[in-house]
């Protein structure tokens, strides 16, 4: 039985599917709350584009801000997408380094964290060019300057490109992602979705119950977490502070360490801060 890709995607993504297949845009920004199926949709569409006969010269790079988050997120997500497409048997799966190779052509899917940009700049491909890029958790990147720099290193030597960006909008309207999305560009498609547009059977009844529970308890949090709405005014000094315990592995992934010393005069204490 021939696979109907439309059956793998929520109806809300039909327009995205045809835009991607017909290459109407280069940049596809997918914003939304929890359960909006952004990552699942990209993990199906991006490999599908790569193995189309007209794109057999095209490789893919998938990125997150921190490298040690790749394996348990986008790497497994892409493998899931290939399984859904029914083509996983045609791929060589490598865990060190994280890499997938399409056996009929040798096309590769590479995974990088931007905490080691030297690896991205020194990518060596057996043929062709990087034509597909996916930035997962876009809001964790430093800003549009970093995204442009990465794209300048990756998007060269080819004729057609597909760049996917997925993220949950940060609370603050002043966050760089929320500001950037307000700028209209001819080669950019923006799609904002929520779990309300996903088939309930795909999410499970418990997911719906948890969302409704939060809505009854704190509608502002619900609007942000589940609907992906920008709920902050931008007046807060720090809008992304979270009290959490961090493993040694997470700490080792930080690439910018800052040290500060505030000398205390008279009876004031001396303060040393590492951040």
Q: What is the DSSP letter of 54?
A: G
229 catalytic residue (yes or no): no
DSSP characters for 145-214? HHHHHHHHHHS-S-S--EEEEEEPPPSBTTSHHHHHTTS--TTEEEEEE-GGGS-HHHH-HHHHHHHHHH
The H or E element spanning position 273 is strand 271-274
DSSP state of 228: -
DSSP state of 74: I
Q: At what angle do helices 38-51 and 14-21 cross, to 10 degrees?
A: 30
CB atoms near residue 138 (< 10 Å):
25
Residues 140, 255: Cα–Cα separation, whole Å = 13
The SS3 assignment for 249 reads: helix
**CA 94-132-174 angle, 5° bins:** 110
Q: Are 262 and 228 in contact (CB under 8 A)?
A: no
| Catalytic annotation, pick one of 54, 137, 225, 242 | 137
| Residue bearing tokens 């893919």 | 60
162-167 and 27-32 strand pairing: parallel
Main-chain phi, psi angles of 195, to 5 degrees: -65, -20
**Helix or strand or coil: residue 60?**
strand
Helix, coil or strand: residue 53:
helix
**Catalytic residue ranges:** 137
């Amino acid at each position: 039985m021939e696979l109907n890709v439309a059956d793998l995607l929520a109806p809300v993504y039909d327009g995205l599917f045809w835009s991607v297949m017909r290459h109407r845009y280069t940049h596809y920004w997918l914003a939304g709350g929890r359960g909006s199926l952004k990552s699942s949709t990209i993990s199906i569409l991006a490999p599908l584009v790569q193995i189309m006969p007209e794109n057999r010269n095209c490789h893919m790079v998938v990125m997150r801000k921190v490298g040690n988050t790749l394996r348990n997120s986008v790497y497994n997500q892409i493998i899931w997408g290939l399984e859904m497409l029914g083509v996983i048997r045609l791929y060589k799966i490598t865990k060190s380094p994280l890499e997938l190779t399409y056996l009929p052509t040798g096309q590769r899917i590479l995974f990088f964290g931007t905490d080691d940009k030297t690896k991205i700049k020194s990518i060596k491909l057996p043929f062709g060019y990087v034509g597909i890029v996916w930035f997962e958790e876009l809001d964790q990147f430093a800003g549009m300057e970093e995204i442009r720099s990465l794209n300048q290193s990756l998007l060269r030597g080819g004729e057609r490109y597909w760049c996917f960006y997925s993220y949950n909008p940060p609370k603050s309207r002043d966050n760089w992602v929320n500001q950037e999305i307000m700028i209209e560009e001819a080669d950019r498609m923006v799609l904002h979705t929520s779990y309300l547009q996903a088939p309930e059977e795909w999410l499970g009844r418990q997911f719906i119950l948890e969302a409704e529970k939060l809505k009854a308890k704190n509608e502002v949090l619900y609007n942000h977490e589940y609907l992906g709405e920008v709920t902050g005014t931008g007046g807060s000094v720090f809008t992304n502070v979270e009290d959490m315990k961090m493993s040694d592995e997470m700490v080792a992934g930080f690439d910018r360490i800052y040290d500060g010393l505030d000398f205390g005069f008279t009876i004031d204490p001396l303060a040393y801060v590492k951040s």
